[in-house]
């Protein structure tokens, strides 16, 4: 199985801050990586597919990058609604796997 | 509008069987893979299984193979997840997900609202 390791596991930040979450794969996955946001009590929501493709309706302050084994999600200027848990996921090969999650909370 | 609507929460005893459902609408149901993702209380996401409604081709995460069964009724636009004998450790929220096409990254682009399954004696 391909393991995904996110860092940090949790981060505290303020509104307006720039935050970057990284996701490292245990083997190369080309650009087959997605990012999801999960707010408390809600289903996850797809933010970014294929490493850097922003989904329709997702604010442009979110961006993704990387390839191979190292990937990142950046939020350029945090808004109150961005405080949530973020997961990366690889869809390069079965079994699909998720990172352990990064909880972003208010400082 | 694409929607995945799941069946309601369930409370079961260990050893009982269960089938939960996920009905798709707003798109051509047969042309996207549909899967299930588990989230245990306070934990992360685990992909369990996926099925292609067009021909019922399916793949399981080896961690769940033999423990659950994924199936589809194309005439009802509904995918199911079934247990023969539940354990307390099956207590979780189960999400159905639609996988987008390869051209759009093959990610899980739509999620159901989740079905809470509680297994307790």
List the single residue in B46, B63, B109 with the smallest CB-CB distance to A46: B109
Q: Is residue B72 within 8 Å of B10, Cβ to Cβ?
A: no
Task: Give tens-digit pLDDT for B77-99.
Answer: 999 999 999 999 999 999 999 99
pLDDT means over runs of 10, chain A (107 residues): 98 97 97 97 97 96 96 96 97 97 94
**CB distance from A103 to chain B under 8 Å?**
no
Rounded distance, CA A94 to CA A74, Å?
27
Chain B residues whose CB is inside 8 A of the A39 CB are none
CA B78 to chain centre: 10
Q: Encode pLDDT of A14-44 as tens digits.
A: 999 999 999 999 999 999 999 999 999 999 9
In this complex, do A94 and B59 lie within 8 Å of one another by their Cβ atoms? yes
Distance from CA of A70 to the nearest CA of B (A): 17
Q: Nearest Cα to B114, choosing from B1, B8, B2?
A: B8
Question: Dihedral through CA A89, CA A90, CA A91, CA A93, nearest 10?
Answer: -140
């Amino acid at each position: 199985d391909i393991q995904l390791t996110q860092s940090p596991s949790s981060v505290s930040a303020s509104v307006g801050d720039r935050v970057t979450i990284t996701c490292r794969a245990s083997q190369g996955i080309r650009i087959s990586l997605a990012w999801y946001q999960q707010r408390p009590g809600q289903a996850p929501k797809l933010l970014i597919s294929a490493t850097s493709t922003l989904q329709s309706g997702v604010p442009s302050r979110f961006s993704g990058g990387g390839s191979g084994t190292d990937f990142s999600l950046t939020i350029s200027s945090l808004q109150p609604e961005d405080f949530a848990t973020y997961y990366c996921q690889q869809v390069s090969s079965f079994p699909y796997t998720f990172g352990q999650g990064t909880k972003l909370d208010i400082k | 509008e694409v929607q995945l609507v799941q069946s309601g929460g369930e409370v079961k005893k260990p050893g009982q069987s269960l089938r939960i459902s996920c009905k798709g609408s707003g798109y051509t149901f047969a042309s996207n893979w549909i899967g299930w993702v588990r989230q245990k209380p306070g934990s992360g996401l685990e992909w369990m299984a996926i099925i292609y409604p067009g021909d019922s081709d399916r793949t399981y995460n080896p961690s769940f193979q033999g423990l659950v069964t994924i199936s589809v009724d194309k005439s009802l636009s509904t995918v199911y997840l079934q247990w023969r004998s539940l354990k307390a450790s099956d207590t979780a929220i189960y999400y159905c997900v639609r996988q987008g096409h390869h051209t759009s990254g093959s990610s899980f682009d739509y999620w159901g609202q989740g079905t809470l399954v509680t297994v307790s004696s």
